[in-house]
Amino acid sequence: MKGRLRVTSPAYREPYPAVPESRLTELEEQLGARLPEPYRVYLAAQDGGALEGYNNHGIEIILGIGEVPKWSSLWYLLGQERDVIPGGWIPVGTDAGGGLFLLVVTAQDRGSVWYQSSELEEDDDGVSHPVVRERLADSWDEFLASIEPVEA
């Protein structure tokens, strides 16, 4: 199809099975917004997983919302990191240093994927902000397609 991005899937060391519709609905109800369709389709087919080897983005885990280990649960990270995650954004992945990969679910950048470092700095008002927050892709499909293995 013209203008349609061909999505390749990253290699998984430990893939998680598809999530039931009820978990998607539960997350959307909690967020007060429908998930961007490419991400919703992804979770309905595969609920994240641990990636194989090293890649250009440094992402190690794509978070799941179903029956996944606590360390790879979107629910857990959303609770733990709520102070540093902007409103209308959700964590969708992590790197080895605690950096977050975030998906915008509301607002003008809806559907875009960002990287946010775990390193924080305090502004003059005493409010902590991530040192790095960078846009990686305009959509979930574009982000998945951009993940390329690198040799260690």
Residue 1 has pLDDT above 50, yes or no: no
H helices present in 32-151, as ranges:
37-45, 74-80, 140-146
In Å, what is the CA distance from 12 to each residue of 32, 33, 61, 85, 144?
31, 29, 9, 26, 12
CA 128 to chain centroid: 21
In this predicted model, which residue has the larger pLDDT, 131 or 69? 69
Give the Cα separation of 48 and 18 in Å (integer): 8
Mean pLDDT rounded to a whole number for the chain: 88
pLDDT of residue 83: 83
| Spatial contact of 16 and 47, defined as CB atoms under 8 Å apart | yes
Find all residues with CB under 8 Å of 56, minimum gap 6, and list them: 146, 147, 148, 150
Structure confidence by residue, pLDDT tens digits, 114-134: 999 888 788 888 777 777 889
pLDDT of residue 6: 42
Give the domain ranges of the chain.
14-146
Place of tokens 């995650």: 85
Q: Averaged over 88-100, what is the pLDDT?
A: 93
Residue 5 has pLDDT above 50, yes or no: no
Structure confidence by residue, pLDDT tens digits, 70-84: 989 999 999 888 888
Q: Which fold has domain 14-146?
A: SMI1/KNR4-like (3.40.1580)
Residue 19 has pLDDT above 60, yes or no: yes
Angle at 3 between CA 10 and CA 21, to 5 degrees: 55
pLDDT of residue 125: 83
